[in-house]
Structure 1
């Protein structure tokens, strides 16, 4: 399942590697299923410069979270990571896969090889990622309560995070004071009581802020946020986003935000990579409108459909009907020879209805590459589409 052309790098060109804090190239993650190998992430490339805030957006099942976890060497199944290169500050942190997967191996041969070498691979990943996880890269997972050990107090969790960040060398009194300071910075009332509490005694919003305090206390240079406001009510979610913006400014953090919620992404990032069926299908960015609000430039029909599905002032003022895609995403969309969005694409259907068979036939039969659009006035950085629409700007 190979694209016809190589995808361009996330930043559109090569640069001095020192400016790239995280550089991911040709990352692929597979899972063995009863129905056969599932390509969860397919040759994804992106990079984040120091101090940059990047959003990775898409529907559930698009591969966002799997991509984020893979950057830290976490795998949810076999064979897991099958190809790619991951560099942090110019240093390779992913073990070489060449000795596991000789060139020309079939998908099943790769799965069998990874299964045989699972333990040594896991040991090598742990060795290389030992000073990365929680130290150079902090992460807040989608379910904050799952990151908290139910038999440990909040204080115990924070102490461990602080010891990682300062590489030891602090006494108990110092750790307690620093823990209290982080809880205050995350605007938790009565931090002394929270420090003594167990996870089950905290609300969802409090757990989220504790997890963020743990991720930030270790002083990482890069913070990965996976659905940072998931399962929170609107008020608490808004407070969390405001806190994150302030903390990013104060700490000078580089940020990777994983979300299906465009409102969350708009608050935290400047650049966006859109994922669909395991691929990045558009790289774009926000621009200010006349009122100073952030608008997302888009030229891919899928990104447009995501934007159109938002509840906006225009929608509320109208008949209140949300535009819908033709059908739900199905795994068969990953196996098509052409564009993976073709079966749901309104632009393709409109072209066919009007008798335009080209580029409709290419959409169905040939995989487009992720390339800068031929017309630079379209504004986006790169798009994977044979017929990128010249319409479309996020209106809210």
Structure 2
């Protein structure tokens, strides 16, 4: 490492072996040492920097001036650079005969760490916001946590699925993800539309899978879903009965829970027609949450009044890779864009079959009017 004469060669080797960047300056900010890590992190060579005045690369003023003035060290200082990166810095004064004659600055790039930290904070805030809509009953939470969900690969030739992952608390995660989707739509004003009642819908989300019963499968199992999983309408009816009889869930939420796996032309005559927009919204939220929970899907939503545009990506089930629109008041759906090649795909979901050339059944009937 190039440096002023007088530096011990062994000390120079030690400094150059450090993973952190290290720069030594005198009181006039003239650089006296500049290790290999500093070269890597700054993109400047030691040969061109040693003997020259240090440059301030951060957006804010460098704390090194305070260290030189006070003689006190500063540790774990975060600074954002002009190029957008974030560095973590430490400053230690060099004191000779009671006088501050320079400073040592060590630093490392923590840009990725800060990005991960922001993502974790955002995820926590998103989860908190979802639960802020309402808090689940603890007994309901225990029940949901005990019901697994499964990721699988579907073979259209045989109609069988192969289990690729077991999610032990999958139904609980499904409800949490449904609340996240609901929170996103709430932020965009969907819950302020006429015929959409937030409290009723949240109650329906919390209890809609309370009565779900799943088989106990393991990774590698190859099964016929129609034989192994009970029809979704059965667990919807069971969930409605449990919610009504044990948890005093309001009647309108019970209607939504009981029929959230029915197509609109299957609804009984006594189904309250004013609940259709909320039923469609519950079916949408349920389907998107299933995508997030079981298919590692990503979903982006854009609401404009009672119209919701959905951008859905599913690596494991390409038939769902599309951008489409749902009208809550009419039930009309429209495919706006299909991403990539439409792969022939048919997926059994506990009694309902979803085709690659049709929208998920959870999105509501195309012909329904309200």
How high is the TM-score relative to the length of structure 1? Answer: 0.27
The structure with higher relative contact order (CA 8 Å, sep 6+) is 1
How high is the TM-score relative to the length of structure 2? Answer: 0.29
Larger radius of gyration: 2
